[in-house]
Each structure stands twice: as structure tokens, then as C-alpha cells.
Amino acid sequence: MSAATDSSHIDLIKGALDLDPWLEPYSQALISRQLQFRKWHADLAQSEGSLAQFASSYQSYGVHGDWSSKKIVVQQYIPDVDEVSLVGEFNNWDINAHKLHKANDFGLWKLTIDPVNGDFAIAHDSKYKIAMKKPDGEIIYRLDPWVLRATPSTENTLYEGRFWNPDPSTTYQFKHKRPTFNKKEGIKVYEAHVGISTPKPEIGSYKNFTKNILPLIHELGYNTIQLMAVMEHAYYASFGYQITNFFAISSRYGSPEDLKELIDEAHRLGIKVLLDIVHSHSSKNVEDGINNFNGTDHYLFHGGAKGNHDLWDSRLFNYANHETLRFLLSNLKYFLDVFKFDGFRFDGVTSMLYTHHGMGFGFSGDYNEYFNPEWVDQDAIVYLMLAHKLLEEIEVPEKDFKFLSIAEDVSGMPTLCLPTSQGGIGFDYRFSMAIPDMWIKILKHLSDEEWDLGSIVFTLTNRRHGEKCISYCESHDQALVGDKTIAFWLMDQEMYTNMSKLSPLTPVVDRGISLHKLIRLVTFSLGGEGYLNFEGNEFGHPEWLDFPRAGNQESYHYARRQFNLIDDDLLRYKFLFDFDGAMQHLDTKYGVLDTPQAYVSLKHEGDKVLVFERNGLLFVFNFHPTNSYPDYKIGVETPGVYQIVLNSDDDKFGGHNRILEVDDKGEKLQFFTNNERWNDRSNSLMVYIPSRTALVLQLKDKV
């Protein structure tokens, strides 16, 4: 054991080692990141007061108006320049009118602008920029990296920075507390994009989302929204993943006050709102982004090739830089403080964790892939640990509230979802990214008879013990043009011609509706400790997603979600919508997700029958395309009387109503166990399972 891994340091990762002893050979790597994290935390506490104070820099950096004095205070970190000026409409863009002074030798510049005629010298919502004189004498103009508002120019395709300083009396006042989940339910995430959340071929607004989409999400039973494309991005078709202005919310959907109202209304409905945060990379835009801000390629970023992501054509942050950490951590706290977000889904975590960014690298699960010092970006890992420490340290008035974090990581990095106090990186959940890939491969390459239940169960349950996962059948990636959603793979063109209840139920649509429900329910109940759905997929949205671009003549026809389809009771989309809601409410009422992993008692490849138990519920799936089984014997551990609480064959879900759920007296049908041991379970019962049907039974009375 080296000096770096003495017993006192081992205590830093004891929780991780207790959970996974196979990590012991990699103790030195785990300890090294812990020591670096703790050094940063201690240094920031000494130099900045605390980590939370350091992350409150958004209150002083940038351009701010003081409403008590009507003074404007400017503070910027700009190294490697000789002069800095604030220019804008307020001074006719004169670089000599309002020059900043050098506050220290580390690139800090400051300026205080006194009021003019008793009012702010700069008008609210007026245009401004930062002007800088480079050492070679060149004058360059850039948007403020800390700008709070950016809007498209009427003269060109660029975005313009605006001094956002509304009268406090006009700003939105939050009325509702941040919600907490009930003790039974797990996290149920509705992944949504404000701009496409309208049936009209136009950009949807925050107001529209608040009025029309939040009630639907609440009706379905989701308790969390993952809001995409909120951070300002000049190119709409980037889906929000090429950020140009990190502290500005996208102006194309409305005002900051509109977004606050959206989040506050979600809180009233008991729904948490997570921001899809993009700290893995930044847009290459210079004129309206932060790339090449001070005329160098290393402002907040790595210089040279190390600072470029070749596949994404974007810039990569230098997480070892003090001011980069200030910028990114302040960005997190800004959205939590000002907009009352409840946490984050971190995008592109795999790219952050590794120096190769996951490009052309196939992860096999070998632990050497996760701890090879040549491949792992420890600075990025330490940034993520600091981010999660910050989430712990931010104080909120709500009792028992905890900020949530989700990692988008395809690699399966061990300890990613363990607290830093246990030797982990700190995330609450990771996405089970192998699951949607599995479903697409099955639907693309296998006939129904070739489905391998053993392989399906393995993929759904193959997750790290003690680290929570969020399962999903498909995300926004599968909805994009060039790919197909599950509904499209199942029904294709018949979604346009045969989804009316006035037309005969075709074999394609019948199969599609049936398997759409089964795929979702088995993923939901077996795949993780949380669940995610991308908006529209819950009702089998019939069209792909394609943002306006040159290739489609800038059309908005496919950049929308046709929620009007579920309002039409003559269309079969409503069946899928209602089933999805019943599935979410199953967890709300009985608790499925945030419980120990299911016990699978049967995977019958010939019959295509899958049976498992989770938290007192009995799940029975018959994936066979034609065979129905009367009096099918299944095993169950707890003896007693069982009743059906969810039946995918119910006609209200587009099924055939082949299962009698009530007797001739109107009483719910009951299933009685006998003490015959079956499939390694202590008891058994008989049940009728029609083809392509799933049943969920609940223990009503114990014997």
C-alpha cells in the first residue's frame, strides 16, 4: 500500500469499498480524487468564505444595477488584455466613455457607474457589450459571459446582449414551496422541451407550457420535469446543447418571469423541475458566445486541441481553472436561487469523465477503463464532486428538501451515484442508457417469436448495486429525424391511416398498441429506481422531431408535439396516454420504483411468459404473439388473496377485455394462492394471461 493509500485516507472511500470490494485495487485513484476535491473545497472556503459564497459570484460578476443607489456595478474576469470598456446604446458604443480599471493582477476588472439624473445610466433591456484592447492593439467586442438576457438581432443572425435590470416590483414572486415526494413513490421524469410543446408549427412559449402542458403531466402522474433547451442557444436546431449564453434563459420562449411562473405552478402541482444543464462543452460561437472571448483560445477553456470536441464541434472547459469553477458553480447556484429549479440533469457526463470523451471507445465494464490515469479526467470529476457538495450546502427554507441530480453517462463509471462522503462523485441517479438501445435492436432485427426474455431481463436488471438508475424505453434521441420511436418501429405508416376507432383494428396497430404498453411497463417495473419518458412518446406520437434548418426549408412542421391527438376520443392515441398514466399512478399508490430490485421467478422462453415480484406487487407478462394461457400456474412468495390493479388488456387501454376483472355480483375478481411451491417461490396461483398482455396483481389479504 502506497503512502497515498494509508489507512486514514482509506476512510475517505470506505463506503464505496464496502459496497463494492472489487474497487479495492483502484483505491489510490479513488483516494486521489477525494484528496483533490477536499483541497479545492478547503482552499475555496479560505479564499472565498465558503463554497456557496464562491458560487454566489453571479451576484457580483457581470453588470448589475443597485436599486437602492441606482448605481451600476461592473465586474469581469478578463486576463490577457490591456484595456476593458463597457459599451452600448447608453453611451453610443464609445470605447472611451466607460473604461474598467484593473482590480488585481489576475485578470479582474471593475467599474461603478453613477446614476444620471437620479436614474440608472443604462436603461433596462438596452443593448451592451464588453470591448477589449488586445496586447497587439486590436479592439474586439464580445457579449458579457455573465449576461442575463440575450435576444436575436433584427439586423443579422447573431444574438445581442441586454442589460437585464427589471423593476423589482414587476418581477415574479414565488408563491409555492419546493415539493417533496411521498415516501412510497420514486422519481418519474417527464423530459420536455418548451419550444416543441405545442401542436402548432411554431415555437411554444413558457406561458403555453404552464397553461396546457403542466396539467397533462400532472394528470399522467409524473412528479418531475426535466426541462431541456432552457439555457440560451443561438442555434435552435442544436436542441439546446450548443450553449452560447450560460446565465441567460432562452428568450425565444418568453421572459425570465414567465419561466419562474412555470416552475412555481409546477411546484403547486407537486412537480419538481430539473434543468438540463450543459457544462460538458460550449458553443464555438465567438460573436454571441464565450469562445475566444478575450481573443485567446483558453478563456475558461483548454487551449489548443485539448480544448476542442471534434465530434460535437464545440469547446471544452478547463475544470482545473479557478475562474472556470467560479463560472460553472455560479451557473448552478444562479438557476437554483433565481428560478427555483430543484436540481439538474447533467448532459454529456461521459465526455467530462474521460480525456477521450467516449469517442470511438466501447466500454466493456473492465474497471481499468474507469481508472486508467491516461483516460480519466480527474479535474472534471472533481468539478462534479464540488457541484454536488454545493447542492448539499445551499440552504433552502423547505424542510426535508434535497436537490436532485441525474447523470447522462454511457460508460457505467463506478461510484458515480454514491455521495462524496462515501467516496463517490455525488449523483443521485444515472440513466440506464443500454435499455433504449436494446429495444431498438429487438424491434429492428427480431421477430416476436425470437424475443429472448433472459436477455431482456439481464439488460433491464444489469445495474450497479447501491447506485440508483433511471430506466427509459426511448429518449429524445430516438424521436429525432433519421431515427424511429418505438411507436414508429411498431406501426410505421399505419399510424397515419389506421389509428381511428372508426376504422377496423388492423393486425399492425393491434400489435403496436399491445407491445407499446408491454415494453413500457416491463421497463418501468424492472429497469431501475426511477423512470423517464420524452414528451409525446407516452401516447405514441406519430411523427419524428426535426427542428427548422436549411435542409427542411426552415420548417416548424416537425418541431412540435401533437397533444391535440389525445383530445380526440375517436383516436387510439388516447389508449396509450391513459395506460401511461395508469402506470405512473401504480408507483404513486403502491411504490414500485424506489424499492429493492425485483425477484424474477419465471422467464419461459417457449411460452414467452415473464413473472416477477417487486414490493408486494406481482407482475405477469405474456409476450407471445398468439398464445393465450388459461389457468397458468405462477409462483409467488406471500400467500393470500390477490387482485388485479393493472391490466393492459382492458378496453380503456385499447385492449380486448379478455380478462374478467369482476364477478357477476360486481365484486373484483380474486386470485387465491395455494401452498404448492412453484418456480422457487413458496406458493402458487392460477391466472389467465391472454397473448400480448401484462397484469399487475396486488396482495389484498394475507393468509
Question: Is 162 in the same domain as 225?
Answer: no
Percentage of the chain modeled with pLDDT above 70 = 98
Residue 20 located in a structural domain: no
Summarize the confidence of residues 452-471 as an average pLDDT: 96
Assess whether 273 and 344 both reside in one domain: yes
Considering the domain boundaries, does residue 666 fall inside one?
yes
DSSP E strand stretches across 520-594: 530-534
Give residue 3's pLDDT.
41
- Which amino acid is it at 159? Y
Q: Which domain covers residue 584, as residue numbers? A: 187-590
**553 and 628 together in one domain:** no
pLDDT value of position 514: 98
Sequence-distant (6+) residues with CB within 8 A of 659 are 644, 647, 649, 650, 688, 690, 693, 695
pLDDT of the residue at 1: 35
Instruction: For residues 162 and 246, state if they share a domain.
Output: no
Across 9-21, average pLDDT:
94
CATH code at position 662: 2.60.40.1180
Amino acid 7: pLDDT = 60
Is 489 in the same domain as 613? no
| Comparison of pLDDT for 592 and 2, the residue scoring more | 592
From the list 469, 462, 388, the residue with the least C-alpha distance to 430 is: 469
Same domain, 196 and 302: yes
The Cα angle at residue 575 between residues 571 and 576, in degrees rounded to 5: 115
Any idea what the CATH number is for the domain that residue 549 is in? 3.20.20.80
Q: How confident is the model at residue 2 (pLDDT cuts 50, 70, 90)?
A: very low
* Contacts of residue 322, Cβ cutoff 8 Å, sequence gap at least 6: none
Asked if the model's pLDDT at residue 60 lies above 60, the reply is yes
Predicted local distance difference test score (pLDDT) of residue 480: 78
Final residue in a domain of this structure, among 109, 143, 170:
170
Looking at the structure, do residues 361 and 227 belong to the same domain, yes or no? yes
In the prediction, which pLDDT does 445 show? 95
Output the pLDDT for position 319.
Answer: 98
CA 431/CA 311 separation, integer angstroms? 22
Alpha helices (H) along 221-377 = 256-268, 322-338, 349-353, 367-371
Domains: count for the chain: 3
Question: Average pLDDT of the chain?
Answer: 95
Work out the pLDDT band at 543, boundaries 50, 70, 90: confident
246 pLDDT higher than 50: yes
Residue 678 lies in a domain: yes
Please report which confidence band the pLDDT of residue 669 belongs to, taking 50, 70 and 90 as the band edges.
confident
Query: What's the maximum distance between 2 C-alpha atoms anywhere in the chain?
Result: 91
Phi-psi group of 586: left, alpha or beta (phi > 0 → left; psi -120 to 50 → alpha; rest → beta):
alpha
pLDDT tens digits, residue range 363-376?
888 999 999 999 99
Is residue 702 predicted with pLDDT exceeding 80?
no
pLDDT at 470: 97
In this predicted structure, the answer to whether residue 583 has a pLDDT above a threshold of 90 is yes
584 and 645 inside one domain: no
Q: What CATH number is given to the structural domain containing 106? A: 2.60.40.10
pLDDT digits (tens, 9 = 90+) for 410-460: 999 999 999 999 999 999 999 999 999 999 999 999 999 999 999 999 999
- Whether 320 and 400 map to the same domain: the answer is yes
Residues 611 and 585 in one domain: no
Question: Does residue 644 surpass a pLDDT of 50?
Answer: yes
Residue 36 falls inside a structural domain:
no
558 and 410, same domain (yes or no): yes
Based on the fold, state whether residues 164 and 236 are members of the same structural domain. Answer: no
Among 216, 163, 219, which Cα is nearest to 192's?
Answer: 216
| Residues designated as active site | 347, 408
Q: Give 70-85 pLDDT, tens digit per residue.
A: 999 999 999 999 999 9
Section 181-190 average pLDDT: 92
Decide if pLDDT at 4 tops 70: no
Using an 8 Å Cβ cutoff, are 325 and 332 in contact? no
